[in-house]
Amino acid sequence: MAIQWSGLGPALLLPLDRSRPEPLRVQLETGLREAIRDGRLSIGERLPSSRELARTLGVSRGLVQECFSQLQAEGYLTSQVGSATRVAANAHKSPDGNTEVRRDAATHPPEPRLLADFLPAVPDLASFPRTDWAWAVQQACRDAPNAALGYGDHQGNEVLRSVLAGYLARVRGAAARPERLVVCAGFCQGLNLVLKALADKGVTKVAFEDPGYDETSTLAMAWAGLTDLVRVPVDSQGIDVAALRASGAQAVVLTPAHQWPTGVVLSPERRHALVNWATSTAGWIVEDDYDAEFRYDREPVGVVQGLAPDRVFAVGTVSKSLAPAVRLGWVLCPSTMLEAVADQKNALDRGCPGIDQLALARLMESGRYDRHLRKARAMYGARRMVLLDALSEHAKGMPVTGLAAGFHAVAHLPADFDEIEVRAAARARSVGLYGMSTQRSSRATTPGQLILGFGNVSDRTIRSGIAKISDLLI
């Protein structure tokens, strides 16, 4: 679909070289043909008026009109009286009918749309509080002093860091102070900053949970210049701290509040053992506070950072609580590592967008953020019950775990089922399923487990999707 540019004269780059022997009209015709063939001008896209294009190029309007007439005769352009000149419907076709456009999108068509997509780790995008966010941005623009519109503090806006510190202390039990926060563009950037800072301090071996992140861990390690990555197993109580200690890792990245992807919560005993490992070995803990905002049938669990603030980096984000597009997160740093992380942020991009930071601060301190979380928590809680009911009806007896928090569940396939075959058969029916094997370092397909995300799937779609694949699950 062509972009419908507003205004009387949408800009168009068509350089003319007056030192060349070719007449200007020939150059203009050739430039327009190439722009259409290459896809720079899409089908239906409006060209500037002949008057505006002539003014921009410094040529006569008659020359432009002659050029337009020639290209209309060749089938590249179309025009009606009283309407703009546009790229013709068949302009991207060669005489033999083949497409000439050289765009990746033309050679790689998108996959057919799924009727139900149980993609995990995606929140309900339709519930993003658009009205509240627009209000917060308006308030930020209205109240921000002129100084706030400059480059600002690369560590993050002071107002947002103050609000975040209060929020993390109140809701997550963190030992948080504004001066120890670095605002970043989501979790992945926060992880990159921390690992690079640790690498510069001499850390060489970093542990990750298994199953756990797939490419996120390898990309972050590569960005930090680290190569010694070890995987530590996760069981029903969370990460195996004894195995972590035996691995010789100097730092560990983990998701204690709702382990990705098994959904288990790090037990109190393991939390204390983890802190003991960090303090006794001078190790570092990088805590991804994943899915902490959404809990259902369990007591609230605070951050590990509250137990050992000098050994833990607590990384948080609003990608799940609001939407990934907001691109804001934070790193709560140990005091001895704050400067190193802040320096990495400064070197990378000099700081996150200032207006967005002020808007998030306004949203949080106004109470609208808490109100949105209450509504979202109720919605996800109801949605997980819909998923359980659908599985109970269509896959009776199938064990389901990991539902104490967040918006994904783990469905355990029968022992003789092949996870990859189930996923392929489901996709053939336009249902997207995702497996635990892709999150295991070994890529083992047994035991067969499906990671069912229900965050961005409606109640009706959950029911119809599970019903459509019921015979594949039992």
Least confident of 92-101, 304-313, 447-456: 92-101
Least confident of 40-54, 129-143, 221-235: 40-54
- Note the pLDDT of residue 107: 45
The answer to whether residues 157 and 358 touch, using CB atoms and an 8 Å cutoff, is yes
Count the neighbouring beta carbons within 10 Å of the beta carbon of residue 1: 7
Q: Is the pLDDT of residue 160 over 50?
A: yes
Half-sphere CA count of 267, side-chain side, radius 13 A: 11
Q: Is the pLDDT of residue 300 over 90?
A: no
Number of H helices and E strands in the chain, helices first, is: 16, 15
The answer to whether residues 76 and 87 touch, using CB atoms and an 8 Å cutoff, is yes
Domain 128-368 matching CATH 3.40.50.920: the answer reads no
Residue 84 in tokens: 């703009």
* Stronger pLDDT, 122 or 10, i.e. the higher one: 122
Q: Is the pLDDT of residue 9 over 70?
A: no
Least confident of 81-85, 240-244, 358-362: 81-85
What pLDDT digit, counting tens, does each position of 278-295 carry? 999 999 999 999 888 888
Whole-angstrom distance, CA of residue 77 vs CA of residue 43: 9
- Note the pLDDT of residue 301: 83
Helix (H, G, I), strand (E, B), or coil: what is residue 131? helix
Average pLDDT over every residue of 171-178 = 95
The answer to whether residues 252 and 283 touch, using CB atoms and an 8 Å cutoff, is yes
Whole-angstrom distance, CA of residue 379 vs CA of residue 84: 48
- Note the pLDDT of residue 13: 80
Which H or E run contains 42? Answer: none
Average pLDDT over every residue of 109-115 = 74
395 phi/psi in degrees, rounded to 5: -140, 55
- Note the pLDDT of residue 110: 56
The DSSP bridge partners found for residue 254 are 287
- Note the pLDDT of residue 81: 73
Q: Is the pLDDT of residue 429 over 60?
A: yes
- Note the pLDDT of residue 105: 41
In this prediction, residue 403 has a pLDDT band, given cuts at 50, 70 and 90, of confident
The answer to whether residues 266 and 238 touch, using CB atoms and an 8 Å cutoff, is yes
Average pLDDT over every residue of 207-228 = 95
Whole-angstrom distance, CA of residue 104 vs CA of residue 172: 45
* Stronger pLDDT, 89 or 467, i.e. the higher one: 467
The answer to whether residues 155 and 345 touch, using CB atoms and an 8 Å cutoff, is yes
Where are the domain boundaries for CATH 1.10.10.10 in the chain?
Answer: 24-107
Q: Which 3-state string (H, E, C) describes 44-110?
A: CCECCCHHHHHHHHCCCHHHHHHHHHHHHHCCCEECCCCCCCEECCCCCECCCCCECCCCHHHHCCC
Q: Is the pLDDT of residue 162 over 50?
A: yes
Least confident of 298-302, 335-339, 391-395: 298-302
CATH of domain 116-125+371-473: 3.90.1150.10
Half-sphere CA count of 388, side-chain side, radius 13 A: 14
- Note the pLDDT of residue 4: 54
Average pLDDT over every residue of 384-393 = 96
Where are the domain boundaries for CATH 3.40.640.10 in the chain?
Answer: 128-368
**Of 416, 446, 456, 450, whose CA–CA distance to 434 is shortest?**
450
Q: Is the pLDDT of residue 219 over 50?
A: yes
339 phi/psi in degrees, rounded to 5: -60, -40
Least confident of 73-87, 257-271, 383-397, 456-470: 73-87
In this prediction, residue 222 has a pLDDT band, given cuts at 50, 70 and 90, of very high
Whole-angstrom distance, CA of residue 139 vs CA of residue 136: 5
Q: Is the pLDDT of residue 171 over 70?
A: yes
The DSSP bridge partners found for residue 330 are 183, 316
Q: Is the pLDDT of residue 106 over 60?
A: no
**Of 200, 267, 275, whose CA–CA distance to 239 is shortest?**
267
Q: Is the pLDDT of residue 296 over 90?
A: no
- Note the pLDDT of residue 299: 74
In this prediction, residue 102 has a pLDDT band, given cuts at 50, 70 and 90, of very low
Helix (H, G, I), strand (E, B), or coil: what is residue 318? coil
Quickly name the fold that domain 24-107 has. Arc Repressor Mutant, subunit A (1.10.10)
Q: Which amino acid is at 84?
A: A
Instruction: Report the percentage of the chain scoring pLDDT > 90.
Output: 78
Q: Is the pLDDT of residue 111 over 70?
A: no
349 phi/psi in degrees, rounded to 5: -150, 10
What is the chain's mean pLDDT, rounded?
91
- Note the pLDDT of residue 45: 87
- Note the pLDDT of residue 139: 97
Whole-angstrom distance, CA of residue 58 vs CA of residue 52: 10
Least confident of 11-15, 18-22, 113-117, 134-138: 11-15
Q: Is the pLDDT of residue 275 over 70?
A: yes
Average pLDDT over every residue of 430-437 = 97
Helix (H, G, I), strand (E, B), or coil: what is residue 254? strand
